[in-house]
Structure 1
Amino acid sequence: MLSDADNAALYDVLNPWDPARSPCDAFYSGLVLAADTVLDVGCGTGGMLRQARAAGHRGRLVGLDPDLAALDRARRSADVEWVAGVAAEAAWDGEFELATMTGHAFQSLIGDDELRASLAAIRTALGYGGRFAFETRHPQARAWEDWNPSNASEITDPAGRRLRVSHHVESVVGDVVTLTETTGDPDGTVLRVDRASLRFLDVPALAGFLAGAGFAVEAQYGDWHRGPVTGASQEIVTLARRI
């Protein structure tokens, strides 16, 4: 079996933070390095903030996540503040210039009440004029149609084990997709199954939630090179400002 600690280590293998190779990582790293105080909501194992500190960021960096095993890995860097919790329960008040949600973490906010409470807490954590940067998969791209066992990937984890990671969509109900991620041996032995739901909001729905929470959309992009949102965009990358 794979423990929570094993799974957190595996996440770093599957999702290394590398601005030199990933346009997504470069986009966020540029914002972080330009801000004096940063709150990363859903920081996971902390790759973005750890890399920012290593790149010379001298201001306050705070990572927030409910996954204790992921935070244990993040805490290998003691020069960043790591806090256990969810966005809706954040209690900072006007302390940050920038808030981020990377890795499509925004899509894990499912219910309207959870989403509104999370946005309200993030807005309160920002100073006036502070910015909130996040991305969601554009529902028009129907990314979930590729989440099936035929697209499984095989990797080697930090312990040297060969593993097979596959996905299966259980349901698509309205704008919420529920899926499982199965990690196992290449021979098919199942080591771990994780279940998650993701919400796919379109541009008008996002705008409504942001306006209701006291944000103004400053910019919205359809790709990581700051191109416009079009009928072919796979992402909705949003920069919102506290008003």
Structure 2
Amino acid sequence: MYSNDDAAALYDLLNPWEPGTWPADTFYGELVMAADSVLDVGCGTGTMLHWAREQGHGGRLVGLDPDTAALARARRRADVEWVEGTAAAADRLGGGFELAVMTGHAFQFLATDEELRASLAGVHAALAPGGRFAFETRHPQARAWERWNPANGSDLTDHAGRALRVWHTVESVVDGVVTFTGTTADPDGTVLRVDRASLRFLTEPALDRLLAEAGFAVEARHGDWDGSPVSGTSRELITVARRVA
């Protein structure tokens, strides 16, 4: 079997934090370094906040995530606050944050209206008046899930030197929610681990309605990491929203 600790280490290998190399990391890195206090919602293994400290960020940095294995890796750095919990629990962090972020399409794991409303309320409470919330969600028009199949799997060597093959399989697409599995296997196909998840693909009007209900106003919206506006070919909905109520 492939343990939760192994999976957390594999995530870092598959998703390195490299501003200057990956445009999304550059986008968030600039926002983080410009803010005095930052809440990383769904921080995972904490690589973004590790990087911010290494770059000289001297303010309050807090990472929030429900995954204990991921947080164990995050806690290798002790000069950041690490809290186990979901976005809905962000209101218990004391408030006053200048910036909250959700990177890596983490926002899409909020698959129901109830989860979205509770999470947005938690983030809203954690922010100072006028604070900003930055996140991205895949634009449904790009139908990203159509490329999540075994033929597009990856062969790699993990942190322990094990050869692996990793792939995704879509189970269903219902009302904008895509349910899929991620499989980790030996190169010969022997399955070591299967993880199942559901992601919400929100339309722009539905997203903006939920943000407005939660007391946010959209300050900026991009269709790509280069700052271009949303268009008929955009693959992303990149949002910076400001707390206004």
Same fold? TM cut 0.5: yes
Q: Identify the residue that residue 14 of structure 1 maps to in structure 2.
A: 14
Per-residue deviation, 1:138: 0.2
Instruction: For 2:68, give the aligned amino acid.
Output: L
Q: Identify the residue that residue 119 of structure 1 maps to in structure 2.
A: 120
**Is 1:233 paired with 2:234?**
yes
Instruction: For 2:45, give the aligned amino acid.
Output: T
Alignment of 1:80-95 (within 5 A): 80-90=80-90, 91-95=92-96
Instruction: For 1:38, give the aligned amino acid.
Output: V
1:101-141 per-position Cα deviation (integer Å, ceiling 9, x unaligned): 00000000011111101001101100000000000000000
Per-residue deviation, 1:76: 0.5
Instruction: For 1:108, give the aligned amino acid.
Output: F
- The 2-side partners of 1:92 and 1:53 are apart by 20
Q: Identify the residue that residue 54 of structure 1 maps to in structure 2.
A: 54
- 5+ residue gaps, structure 1, are none
- The 2-side partners of 1:190 and 1:92 are apart by 40
1:161-193 per-position Cα deviation (integer Å, ceiling 9, x unaligned): 111000000000011000000000110010000
SS in 2 for 1:72: helix
**Contact 1:24/1:224 (8 A) holds in 2:** yes
**Is 1:38 paired with 2:29?**
no
Q: Identify the residue that residue 206 of structure 1 maps to in structure 2.
A: 207
Q: Identify the residue that residue 99 of structure 1 maps to in structure 2.
A: 100
Q: Identify the residue that residue 110 of structure 2 maps to in structure 1.
A: 109
- The 1-side partners of 2:65 and 2:136 are apart by 17
Per-residue deviation, 1:94: 3.0
Per-residue deviation, 1:209: 0.3
For structure 1, which segment, 87-96 or 137-146, has the greater mean C-alpha deviation from structure 2 after superposition?
A: 87-96
**Contact 1:94/1:128 (8 A) holds in 2:** no
SS in 1 for 2:211: helix
Instruction: For 1:109, give the aligned amino acid.
Output: L
TM-score by length of 1: 0.99
Q: Identify the residue that residue 67 of structure 2 maps to in structure 1.
A: 67
TM-score by length of 2: 0.98
Per-residue deviation, 1:93: 4.2
Instruction: For 1:230, give the aligned amino acid.
Output: S
- What is the aligned-residue RMSD (CA, Å)? 0.6
- The 2-side partners of 1:220 and 1:20 are apart by 21
Instruction: For 2:38, give the aligned amino acid.
Output: V
Q: Identify the residue that residue 186 of structure 1 maps to in structure 2.
A: 187
SS in 2 for 1:195: strand
- The 1-side partners of 2:176 and 2:138 are apart by 11
Q: Identify the residue that residue 161 of structure 1 maps to in structure 2.
A: 162
1:24-64 per-position Cα deviation (integer Å, ceiling 9, x unaligned): 00000000000000000000000100001001100000000
Q: Identify the residue that residue 28 of structure 2 maps to in structure 1.
A: 28
- The 2-side partners of 1:110 and 1:209 are apart by 13
Q: Identify the residue that residue 79 of structure 1 maps to in structure 2.
A: 79
**Contact 1:178/1:195 (8 A) holds in 2:** yes
Per-residue deviation, 1:202: 1.0
Per-residue deviation, 1:92: 2.9
